Homo-oligomer: A and B are copies of this chain.
Amino acid sequence: MSEKPAPSRLGEFSLIERYFAPLATSIGAAHLQDDAAVFAPDTGCELVVTKDMLMAGVHFFENDPPFAVAQKALGVNLSDLAAKGAIPKGYLLGLGLSDDIGEEWIAEFCRGLKAVQDRFGIDLLGGDTISCPKGPLLSITAFGNVPIGDVVRRNTAVAGAKLYVTGSIGDAALGLKLRLDEGLAAQVGLSDAERDFLLDRYLLPQPRVSAADALRDYAVAAMDISDGLVGDLGHMCRTSKVQARVILEDVPYSSAASAMIAKNREFLETAISGGDDYEILAAIMPENCTAFENALTATGLAVTQIGDLQTLDAGQEQGTVELIWHDEPFILRGAAGFRHF
């Protein structure tokens, strides 16, 4: 780590020695005593690298528990790697701290990092800590291994492929709605358990790391869903020059999400266009669907076919996404595109 100013109460070197160095156990990290780390992809592999930044008040709430913030920050990066078919290896941590952030926050944050490291067998490689006027700010660069030439792209989808998603869709966006409106859970008749489930899905995204192998083996294209199913599928279509049809009643919703959707059509819109799912969207050719489903099921991940990809309509240049709800076209009424709160 380099020595940019850290919050005055805690010198950066104490921070590193006490909290970050124990997270950096690889030889190449050199106990974080240097300005740079050294590493290489595994034999026969190349590196997949991704960078996601998270800002307090934009990507998470300032009063979110730091243990959860750490898991989210690492999780969203590992989600990108998984969607590319990569096995996570390590990460760099950029941390912006304002004066109001104390040692307790940092200790809990590092405990969260450690939990993710242990779960996925990854390691802190290095990073930087700076002062900033308003924090915490997290900038994570994550690395994964993928066999040379096997990365799964999102701009390689083709007409005829079937669309799949892992897990369930919309929980996090509905959880965010519940978080922003305390009375909403009672109003829509959710049980405490249903409410807590949705709140947790927002707070603690689960990167689908175990999907990576099956994606490399069977997906013609894949991406993680971070900005809403409809929007992200739109990106896949646009970059792949195809169009998509999604059968909305085939999309997997959790029982808590289903309870909300049954109350109000608006919640269906939220579920399919809201962000922070961190599930994986994959395009699979028909002949590989069974093998793909079996491979994912074997890892314990739920996977559901939700539609398919088609050639562009005559005259179209940009892919579009057609939504079907009980045999009728479903038009999103809300503003196009998702923005974090």
Q: Which residues of A contact B (CB under 8 A)?
A: 2-5, 11, 28, 30, 33-41, 45-55, 57-59, 80-81, 83-84, 86, 92, 94, 96, 125-128, 130-134, 137, 139, 141, 146, 148, 151, 153-155, 223-224, 226-227, 231-232, 235, 239, 337-340
Cβ-defined contact, B132 with A58, below 8 A: yes
Chain B residues within 8 Å of A127, by CB = 51
Chain B residues within 8 Å of A33, by CB = 154-155, 239
CA distance A337 to B48 in the complex (A): 38
How far in angstroms is the closest Cβ of chain B from A242?
A: 14
Kindly identify which residue among B34, B46, B131 contacts A39, using a CB–CB cutoff of 8 Å.
Answer: B46
CA distance A5 to B337 in the complex (A): 10
Cβ-defined contact, A49 with B55, below 8 A: no
**Chain B residue nearest to A90 in the complex (CB):** B49
CA distance A5 to B94 in the complex (A): 19
How far in angstroms is the closest Cβ of chain B from A16?
A: 11
How far in angstroms is the closest Cβ of chain B from A144?
A: 8
Q: Other than the known A3-B235, A38-B46, what 13 A-B pairs have Cβ atoms closer than 8 Å?
A: A2-B226, A2-B227, A4-B52, A4-B227, A34-B153, A35-B83, A38-B49, A39-B49, A49-B141, A51-B94, A51-B139, A55-B96, A133-B133
Cβ-defined contact, A130 with B58, below 8 A: yes
Chain B residues within 8 Å of A53, by CB = 4, 94, 96, 128, 130, 139
Question: 14 A-B pairs, CB-CB below 8 angstroms?
Answer: A4-B59, A30-B153, A33-B154, A33-B155, A34-B153, A34-B155, A38-B48, A39-B46, A39-B47, A51-B92, A51-B94, A51-B139, A134-B134, A141-B141
Cβ-defined contact, A49 with B130, below 8 A: no
Cβ-defined contact, A132 with B128, below 8 A: no
Chain B residues within 8 Å of A11, by CB = 337
CA distance A128 to B80 in the complex (A): 12
CA distance A58 to B134 in the complex (A): 12
**Chain B residue nearest to A232 in the complex (CB):** B3
**Chain B residue nearest to A28 in the complex (CB):** B46
Kindly identify which residue among B58, B126, B133, B340 contacts A57, using a CB–CB cutoff of 8 Å.
Answer: B133
Cβ-defined contact, A131 with B55, below 8 A: yes
Kindly identify which residue among B3, B86, B96, B235 contacts A36, using a CB–CB cutoff of 8 Å.
Answer: B86
